[in-house]
Structure 1
């Protein structure tokens, strides 16, 4: 006779998955950004949790770093986790970016940036993200500057000379200074940002953007102008996320929301270069893993029926994602099932011969604490390209 937990447990898991599916779009628009900032005048590090501008402290952060935090908040991420490091001119400083990365390895977040970092910091950050995704199966993503990382978890932002209107600029005062020949360096009409500095803004956009749209052609309203490209299509093809201005009075926009991936295989095709696709896959992976940990681990015996119950619950979740996240067409494949190949390997490792067993017997074989599943999903992208042929 099933115990009470088994009777009431499975429906609650399905409800949990349904809730995740329903809230998927809203949750995908509320990502968490980690920001590493060189800020301290001594060999120390501080931590700040910023939900909105009211959480920015009155003291402790430099004016330029406050500005970078505000730029990130323009994208409306759920929150920013700010970790500070000593400034570059602090002598004999021991704390480095590596120390921060060790701290956040088991913290839950989505995007990371280091807008005050060096080129070496960018390279190290990209390398760390690759290792976390490939070796630890984390779903972290980084926005770095001028780093051709060739990885779906690393966004390579390369646009420089980004000009933003200076809120402290006083046109009339500047004109008066010019008349009397006074210096006006402090009254420039624009503030110019490097690609590295503006990784803060890009990370905020990507963390705050819902999965029912792409960041392609996302307008950065505050940007007046930016560096132009001789052949922008080549930059995009090389895995660069760039800004551009079509001079159509619609502002400066993200040209194509892609990551740095440029090497494609049968397992990792060209769809994986799109940030929206990778974001969808990462969210689904996190949702299934989190639900398994909270609702299944230690709560059910690992028999065939409970495995199939979990698979059925994932199917309900996939159905709720169809349309905005997963392809809803008849040819799309969105499923999870018992991994029969892994089951066969387990059978062999435990001294039995799968050749003498039926397919169903292999599927039902006792796998100890392991749940071997396989599946396929078909994420749906946003409209980005148009080709029309008119016949006369």
Structure 2
């Protein structure tokens, strides 16, 4: 007989999944940005929680870093979690103790911030003041977190051909933004590097909902950007770039792609689109979060309860058809029968004498192993028309 917690708890799973489904588009437009900045004149790390420009402190941050935060906020992310590091000019202190022995303090580094970020929720990362080596380290860390720990972290980095769906390689340079006027009333401009403008791109991707792609997203503040010869080749190599078609419509994102450029049977060409990865990551987080909240340690692991969980996921899939999942796609999930079969064999069972249902119902201890398929839907980006007369 099910205990009272299960009777009252399981319906909440359906409600939770329905809520997640109906709010999917709204929630996807409110991603969290983690931003690492070099700012401190002493060997310290500070943290700031920025929801809007009113949360930017009046003191403590350099003017250049405040500008980068404001550029990120233009994309309307839910919030920015700002972590500040010592400037490169800060040196570790050396002290001399008794007997002349010297000790040197450990410097706070990017690696220390990554340890903090590993245990909290966020969606997109940028580090617009990092060195080339620090950008490379971030790329390596994101890859490791996604592959080994199944995290859904993503980053916007500059000039990093990471060949990974979790890393956007932003490569545009010569980005000019109006900054004011001179004494004669002429508009003055500030130029940004690709590294600096990762803050802006990160904010856009965190604030963009899943009912559209960032392809052709207009950056209204950008007056000019360096043209890129043979731009299609750069995009094909996994570069996210800005371009101006000189049609009076301003500077836009050319193609909302990540750095993935090597495709396999597990990761096909669909994985190069930021919108697709955002959908997959959102689904992963929603299912994992609901499982942790309502099932882990609370529900017995028998066949009936597995099927209740599967039914709840299917309800969730039905709620996100259209803008997230292809309404005509095979979006489903079920017990992984091959895993069940192998598990039974490893526990000494003669599976040849077992029925299909007996294999499905076989007790798998604490393990819930499911298999399924989803087909995320992309946005319109390419057009081909052939007219005949």
Which TM class, normalised by the smaller chain length?
A: over 0.9
- Secondary structure of the residue that 1:197 maps to in structure 2? helix
- 2:182 matched to which residue of 1? 170
- 2:346 matched to which residue of 1? 349
Deviation by residue 1:104-125 (Cα, 9 ceiling, x = unmatched): 1011000000000111111110
Q: Work out whether 1:294 is the aligned partner of 2:307.
A: no
- 2:103 matched to which residue of 1? none
CA distance in 1, matches of 2:323, 2:242: 26
- 2:99 matched to which residue of 1? none
- 1:235 matched to which residue of 2? 234
Q: Work out whether 1:335 is the aligned partner of 2:325.
A: no
- 1:185 matched to which residue of 2? none
- Secondary structure of the residue that 1:112 maps to in structure 2? strand
- 2:74 matched to which residue of 1? 74
- Secondary structure of the residue that 1:311 maps to in structure 2? helix
- 1:144 matched to which residue of 2? 157
- 2:129 matched to which residue of 1? 116
- TM-score, with length taken from structure 2: 0.95
What is the 5 A alignment of 1:1-392?
1-92=1-92, 94-167=107-180, 169-172=181-184, 189-329=188-328, 332-392=329-389
- TM-score, with length taken from structure 1: 0.94
CA spacing shift, 1:308–1:233, aligned 2, 3 Å? same
CA distance in 2, matches of 1:78, 1:229: 32
CA distance in 2, matches of 1:349, 1:88: 56
- State the shift of 1:7 in Å: 2.6
- 1:177 matched to which residue of 2? none
Deviation by residue 1:78-117 (Cα, 9 ceiling, x = unmatched): 0000000111111237111111111110110000000001
Deviation by residue 1:113-162 (Cα, 9 ceiling, x = unmatched): 00001111111101100000000000000100000000000000000110
Deviation by residue 1:173-231 (Cα, 9 ceiling, x = unmatched): 67xxxxxxxxxxxxx81000000000000000000000000000000000000111110
CA distance in 1, matches of 2:16, 2:270: 29
CA distance in 2, matches of 1:48, 1:4: 43
- State the shift of 1:342 in Å: 1.1
**Which piece of structure 1 moves more, 261-270 or 350-359?**
350-359
Point out where structure 1 has 5 or more consecutive residues left out of the alignment: 175-187
CA distance in 1, matches of 2:305, 2:361: 11
CA distance in 2, matches of 1:348, 1:306: 23
- Secondary structure of the residue that 1:94 maps to in structure 2? coil
- State the shift of 1:337 in Å: 0.4
Count of residues in Structure 1 that have an aligned counterpart in Structure 2: 376
CA distance in 2, matches of 1:192, 1:91: 30
State the superposition RMSD in angstroms.
1.1
CA distance in 2, matches of 1:6, 1:127: 42
CA distance in 2, matches of 1:151, 1:369: 32
- State the shift of 1:43 in Å: 1.1
